[in-house]
């Protein structure tokens, strides 16, 4: 969980065969971006995001900027990062930014399709140093605004970590609360969202247009009813 070692997400190591995402997602028109993709570990969310980015790039004649939030803090993470790098098209550019994703989106979206990989590690990086609810609100609001106002398509990848056992560690519970809230906030400004399970993308119904993103109302960082 949060701390020196970020949550383990990413691609299998070299030599591990992974089936491609089934072709069940129809072409996404520019008006339906941003897109949020959530899922568990090894669910196929990164493959789907890469496929959508390549599709949007071809449709709009724009290069892809891959916004990477992971850092090689240990050998295992370094291997995972290299696996992600190896399967990206050579024409894609990469910006490695562990904490300042909003600034990169604002800077690069005028001339790129943006793929953000991923919110899971971004939040973990934010929490390496003590962070209170107000700081989280400031950072998350800035990120949501950058995604919402981006000039060109943005695809955001995140984990769904709230379906398992509630952690006994207080910091891990706070992390899960904040990631769930951040996912909700991003979804509220997206045109499409998918949940990936066993390599299959499942389209999610989104809130009605005009619904505002959830905000903090209590010390846990959740609004009433957001649990």
In a domain, 23, yes or no: no
CA 188, CA 213: separation in Å to the nearest integer? 5
In a domain, 142, yes or no: yes
In a domain, 9, yes or no: no
Phi first, then psi, for residue 161 (nearest 5°) are: -105, 5
pLDDT at 220: 43
Six-digit token string for 25: 């997602």
Inter-CA distances, 120 with 8, 12, 71, 117, Å: 9, 17, 12, 8
pLDDT at 212: 55
Q: What is the pLDDT along the chain (227 residues), one digit of tens a residue?
A: 444 444 333 444 444 444 454 444 556 777 789 999 999 999 999 999 999 999 999 999 999 999 999 887 777 877 887 877 778 889 999 999 999 999 999 999 999 999 999 999 999 999 999 999 999 999 999 999 999 999 999 999 999 998 888 888 999 999 999 999 999 999 999 999 999 999 999 999 987 654 555 665 543 444 434 55
pLDDT at 218: 45
Structural domain that includes position 118: 33-203
Six-digit token string for 159: 């984990």
CATH code of the domain containing 134: 3.40.50.300
Neighbours of 75 (CB within 10 A): 8
pLDDT at 27: 63
So which residues are the catalytic ones?
A: 84
In a domain, 166, yes or no: yes
C-alpha dihedral over 80, 48, 162, 217, to 10 degrees?
Answer: 110
Count of domains forming the chain = 1
Six-digit token string for 93: 């550019």
In a domain, 222, yes or no: no
In a domain, 159, yes or no: yes
In a domain, 223, yes or no: no
Instruction: Please return the burial class of 65, using the count of CB atoms within 10 Å of its CB with bins 0-12, 13-18 and 19+.
Output: buried
Six-digit token string for 41: 């570990």
In a domain, 20, yes or no: no
Question: Pairing mode, if any, of strands 200-203 and 64-68?
Answer: unpaired
Q: What is the DSSP string of the chain?
A: --SSS----SPPPTT---PPPPS-SPP--GGG-SEEEEE-TTSSHHHHHHHHHHHHHHHHT--EEEEE-----SHHHHHHHHHHHHHS-TT-EEEE-SS-HHHHHHHHTTTSEEEEE-HHHHHHHHTTS---HHHHHHHHHHHHHHHHT-SS-EEEEEE--TTSPPPSSHHHHHHHHHHHHHHHHHHTT-SEEEEEETTEEEE-PPPPTTPPPP---STTS--TT--
Among candidate residues 218, 204, 219, the one with its CA nearest the CA of residue 45: 204
């Amino acid at each position: 969980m949060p701390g020196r070692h970020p949550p383990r997400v990413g691609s299998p190591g070299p030599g591990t065969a992974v089936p491609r995402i089934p072709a069940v997602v129809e072409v996404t028109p520019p008006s339906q971006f941003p897109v949020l993709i959530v899922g568990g570990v090894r669910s196929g969310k990164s493959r789907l995001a890469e496929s959508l980015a390549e599709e949007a790039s071809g449709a709009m004649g724009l290069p892809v900027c891959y916004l990477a939030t992971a850092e090689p803090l240990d050998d295992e993470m370094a291997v995972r990062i290299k696996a992600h790098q190896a399967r990206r098209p050579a024409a894609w550019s990469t910006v490695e930014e562990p904490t300042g994703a909003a600034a990169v989106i604002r800077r690069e979206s005028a001339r790129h399709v943006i793929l953000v990989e991923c919110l899971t590690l971004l939040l973990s990086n934010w929490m390496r140093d003590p962070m209170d609810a107000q700081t989280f609100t400031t950072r998350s609001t800035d990120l949501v605004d950058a995604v919402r106002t981006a000039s060109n398509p943005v695809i955001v990848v995140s984990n769904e970590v709230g379906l398992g056992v509630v952690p006994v560690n207080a910091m891990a519970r706070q992390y899960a609360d904040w990631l769930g809230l951040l996912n909700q906030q991003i979804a509220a400004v997206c045109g499409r969202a998918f949940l990936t399970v066993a390599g299959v993308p499942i389209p999610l119904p989104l809130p009605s247009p005009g619904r505002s993103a959830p905000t903090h109302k209590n010390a846990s960082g959740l609004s009433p009813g957001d649990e």
